């Protein structure tokens, strides 16, 4: 919310009938305090006979929510000048739990477990709370900025949103309580950090090769495993145009279960002003794409410990003994696709990069030289002749 603002505008996307059999529905728009916006009675209450228990909400969710405030603020203001491993770990767990604990997330988890018992679903949630963390850790991170847009980000009752351009709202992946699998190469996960900032996580395999099947599963798709994160590679500085913010809000609205909320009433209706609502072509198909010129091949990480031991991971989180740690065929295919995509992106977006990171100690967006732009044109000309 804006400073000094204490209420959100909340829109009910499927308002209930005033009474059974009536065609008249309840009011769909409310102006409420944050605590009431997405509240649902007994969502996290377990019952054993006549005994009700709210300890999951109080001790599990409550503690995580308290810690998450600092983590969200850290990444909302992230500028590469410092790292905070605790903030990173907290944010990953918080986002994973946020995706699981909403009415939509709990219903989906129950369906996956083939279990309709709320008690067992809530217990399972605690066991799988870090389900998505490894895949998100290995994604290309960008923190995009809506400061230049009059419209800011809206939020929904399913705040960790997954967009895959090949999975429109009525597709089999999105029906009911479903979400596109975050491990499908073209799946982007995003989470608003504030009115002006949004964290967007994109699978590395998609940035390197956006010509592949969008539904293809990324390399090393295992969920529960250790991996490593590089703060220097986080992309910042992308300034979103108003239409891009509207398009992101449109996705948020389409992927909500029932409710969305915003600081301004008009933001609740992005469909009225977007340039297109064609799911596959939002942002010409690349609405959530990070700056590919900041992405490179390679990426193996080796860590040495004081004890004298060491550890290493591939860019996809493989360990040295795992199949896929070295994959020459994949590297050759991705390399060719990435260089082509970088060239296409440069000619589409212009010489100035859309974002920057700290991989080469940069503190602002880089501008490609005339020679580099000519190299991109030459590369695409060669591609077109094949």
Domain ranges of the chain: 8-14+27-384
Q: Residue 51: what pLDDT? A: 44
Residues near 136 by beta carbon (within 8 Å), at least 6 away in sequence: 92, 95, 96, 182, 189, 201
Give the CA distances from residue 207 to residues 10, 158, 220, 279, 355, in Å, rounded to whole numbers and listed in that order. 35, 25, 16, 19, 14
Q: Residue 39: what pLDDT? A: 58
Give the CA distances from residue 310 to residues 302, 303, 307, 319, in Å, rounded to whole numbers and listed in that order. 7, 5, 9, 12
- By CB atoms closer than 10 A (0-12, 13-18, 19+), residue 213 is exposed
Give the CA distances from residue 294 to residues 208, 288, 338, 341, in Å, rounded to whole numbers and listed in that order. 11, 15, 11, 12
- The DSSP output letter for 277 is -
Facing residues of 312 across strands?
A: 302
- To which residue do tokens 């090949």 refer? 166
Q: Is 178 helix (H, G, I), strand (E, B) or coil?
A: coil
Q: Is the separation of the CB atoms in 145 and 238 below 8 Å?
A: yes
Q: How many angstroms separate the CA atoms of 243 and 147, rounded?
A: 13
**Per-residue pLDDT tens digits of the chain, which is 386 residues long:** 667 777 889 999 988 877 787 777 888 888 877 666 665 655 544 444 454 545 566 556 778 889 999 999 999 999 999 999 999 999 999 999 999 988 899 899 988 888 767 778 888 888 899 999 999 999 999 999 999 999 999 999 999 999 999 999 999 999 999 999 999 999 999 999 999 999 999 999 999 999 999 999 999 999 999 999 999 999 999 999 999 999 999 999 999 999 999 999 999 999 999 999 999 999 999 999 999 999 999 988 888 888 888 889 999 999 999 999 999 999 999 999 999 999 999 999 999 999 999 988 888 999 999 999 999 999 999 887 76
The first and second tokens of residue 157, run together, are: 């009752």
Cα dihedral sign, 143-251-263-148: positive
Q: Residue 26: what pLDDT? A: 84
Residues near 14 by beta carbon (within 8 Å), at least 6 away in sequence: 258
């Amino acid at each position: 919310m804006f400073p000094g603002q204490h209420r959100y505008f909340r829109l009910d996307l499927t308002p209930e009938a005033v009474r059974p059999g009536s065609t008249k529905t309840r009011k769909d728009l409310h102006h409420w305090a944050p605590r009431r916006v997405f509240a649902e009675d007994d969502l996290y209450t377990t019952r054993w006979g006549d005994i009700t228990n709210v300890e999951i909400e109080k001790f599990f969710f409550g503690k995580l929510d308290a810690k998450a405030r600092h983590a969200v603020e850290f990444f909302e203001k992230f500028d590469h000048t410092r790292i905070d491993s605790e903030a990173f770990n907290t944010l990953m767990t918080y986002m994973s739990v946020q995706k699981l604990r909403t009415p939509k997330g709990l219903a989906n988890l129950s369906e996956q477990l083939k279990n309709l018992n709320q008690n067992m679903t809530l217990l399972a949630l605690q066991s799988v709370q870090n389900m998505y963390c490894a895949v998100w850790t290995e994604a290309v991170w960008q923190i995009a900025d809506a400061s230049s847009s009059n419209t800011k980000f809206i939020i929904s009752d399913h705040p960790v949103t997954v967009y895959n351009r090949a999975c429109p709202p009525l597709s089999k992946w999105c029906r009911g309580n479903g979400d596109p699998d975050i491990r499908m190469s073209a799946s982007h996960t995003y989470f608003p950090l504030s009115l002006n900032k949004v964290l967007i996580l994109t699978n590395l395999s998609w940035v390197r090769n956006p010509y592949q099947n969008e539904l293809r599963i990324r390399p090393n798709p295992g969920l529960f495993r250790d991996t490593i994160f590089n703060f220097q590679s986080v992309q910042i500085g992308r300034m979103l145009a108003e239409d891009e913010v509207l398009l992101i809000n449109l996705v948020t609205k389409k992927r909500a279960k029932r409710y969305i909320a915003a600081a301004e009433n008009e933001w609740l209706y992005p469909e009225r002003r977007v340039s297109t609502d064609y799911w596959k072509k939002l942002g010409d198909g690349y609405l959530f794409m990070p700056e590919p010129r900041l992405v490179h091949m390679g990426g193996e990480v080796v860590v040495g410990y004081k004890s004298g031991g060491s550890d290493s991971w591939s860019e996809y989180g493989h360990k040295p003994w795992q199949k896929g740690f070295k994959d020459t065929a994949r590297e050759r295919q991705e390399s060719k696709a990435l260089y082509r995509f970088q060239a296409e992106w440069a000619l589409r977006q212009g010489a100035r990069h859309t974002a920057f990171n700290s991989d080469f100690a940069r503190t602002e967006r880089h501008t490609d030289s005339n020679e580099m732009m000519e190299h991109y044109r030459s590369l695409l000309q060669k591609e077109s002749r094949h």
